[in-house]
Amino acid sequence: MTHVAMLSLHTSPLDQPGSGDGGGLNVYVRELASSLARSGVICDVYTRAAGPNWPEVINVEPGFKVFNIKAGPLRPLSRFEFIDALDEITDKVIEVIINKNYDYDETLSAIHANYWLSALVGHEIKHRLEIPLITTFHTLEKVKMIQGQGDTDPVMSAKRIEAETMITACSDVVVASCDAEVADLFDLYLLEMDRLAVIAPGVEKAFFETGDKSFAKRALEVYLKVNYPALITKSMGASPLILFAGRMQPLKGIDVAVGAIAMLEEFGIKNAKLLAVGGPSGPGSKEWYEELKSLVRDAGMAEDVIFLPPQQHEVLATLYRAADCVVVPSKSESFGLVALEAMACGTPVVAANVGGLTTLIESELDGILIDRYDAGLYAEAIARIMSDDDMRGYLSRNATTKAARYTWHSAAARLNYVYQGVFKKGIIRAC
């Protein structure tokens, strides 16, 4: 039986996506671990406890447990603090593995590290316990630097590049999500083809699927009035509804989405509303987010732009179905789970022509890709979709068909094949 230790140490897979460090990585780890467990793979996920009252073990479902490692200050840590506590975190993870606190006797098939901070721990575990290391980076610092989105602290940026280079050279397999990431790993990190696996994320079909849009709009309005009465001062009625979902930080482009809404009337679309769902994430993001909301109020757009905190999947799915268009104006995007979830719900997507979005979306067929970080271009594309029923239906149908190809079940099956392969071969890279 395959048995894997999955590392997601800087953020728990059980955290709410959309704020703090919670995002697509959290969804990726949680959904993959769940699908792996259902297919017969024992999946133990290790994360760092960010509070004193976190339980040592959470049994999520048969075959899928989350171990909350109590190491370092028991609170959310900055990247520097995480690195300072790296040795302690590593020792505690190894202690749990060696003591077999997870009630299984099977030998670990592999360590699967997610993100470079977890991969630093995974690298140590690989060499101490002689277990193959698989790494999924999710984002790469060299790529972010090229896009002008690198770490604002040059010391941390250099540390991260050094770590990613070392981890890429030492990992027995590196998992990429899309063709764009493959090219980046080849060109910028010199990864060899024989240590690469391309496995796209999936979408949870139980939540994200097509439905009746008019009903979704009515259900959404009731939900908002009940849960956020201070935000909803008048009925949205038949207003065109645009959705942004993601972390509130400059990287994700919420400011461009707001700018696009302000310009829609110039393109003939009146009374449009933007639902901006998510919370601040990253250094300085709280101040930036509050400033953005102040700018919206000062511009007289408080009734046009509705800011909501992160939402559970079942609510987010209703938001996708209620929306007439979803915008993903990210400056950098390793894959684009929000776009995929929207497509599965049959909602047209207008997205940045960057990263994994270029693999996921074929522009003018199942969405629209925008080449520049320009609110006017987004407004024009949104207006095209809103004013043309045939185009909206065409994009919607093709998007649904495209999204059906992406399942967590198939991703887990391909990943299990990788796990079994490295277990049979043993450690490939003896760095």
Q: What is the CATH number of the domain that holds 286?
A: 3.40.50.2000
pTM for the whole structure: 0.92
Answer whether residue 231 is part of any domain: yes
276 and 309 in a single domain? The answer is yes
Residue by residue, pLDDT tens for the chain (431 residues) are 789 999 999 999 998 776 666 678 999 999 999 999 999 999 999 999 999 999 999 999 999 999 999 999 999 898 899 999 999 999 999 999 988 654 555 678 899 999 999 999 999 999 999 999 999 999 999 998 988 878 888 999 999 999 999 999 999 999 999 999 999 999 999 999 999 999 999 999 889 999 999 999 999 999 998 999 887 766 677 789 999 999 998 989 999 999 999 999 999 999 999 999 999 887 788 899 999 999 999 989 988 999 999 999 889 999 999 999 999 999 988 889 999 999 999 999 999 999 899 999 999 999 999 999 999 999 999 999 999 999 999 999 999 999 999 999 999 999 999 999 888 877 666 67
d(C-alpha 427, C-alpha 343), whole Å? 39
pLDDT at 234: 65
Q: Is 207 inside any structural domain?
A: no
Please indicate, yes or no, if residue 324 is contained in any of the structural domains: yes
Same domain, 266 and 139: no
Q: Name the residue range of residue 395's domain.
A: 213-403
The verdict on 71 and 182 lying in the same domain is yes
Q: Write down the pLDDT at residue 19.
A: 61
**In a domain? residue 431:** no
Q: Are both 89 and 220 inside the same structural domain?
A: no
Model pLDDT, residue 107: 76
- The answer to the question of residue 430 being in a domain is no
Regarding whether 399 and 411 lie in a shared domain, the answer is no
Q: Which residues contact 135 (CB under 8 A, 6 or more apart)?
A: 112, 113, 114, 119, 122, 167, 168, 171, 173, 174, 175
- In this structure, the answer to whether residues 318 and 394 fall within a common structural domain is yes
Distance between alpha carbon 338 and the CA centroid of its chain, in Å?
8
Q: Check whether residue 234 and residue 86 sit in a common domain.
A: no
Q: Which two tokens stand for residue 268?
A: 């003939």
**Which two tokens mark 138?**
């999710």
Bridging pattern class, strands 64-69 and 57-61? antiparallel
Number of domains the chain is built from: 2
Asked whether residue 151 is domain-assigned, the answer is: yes
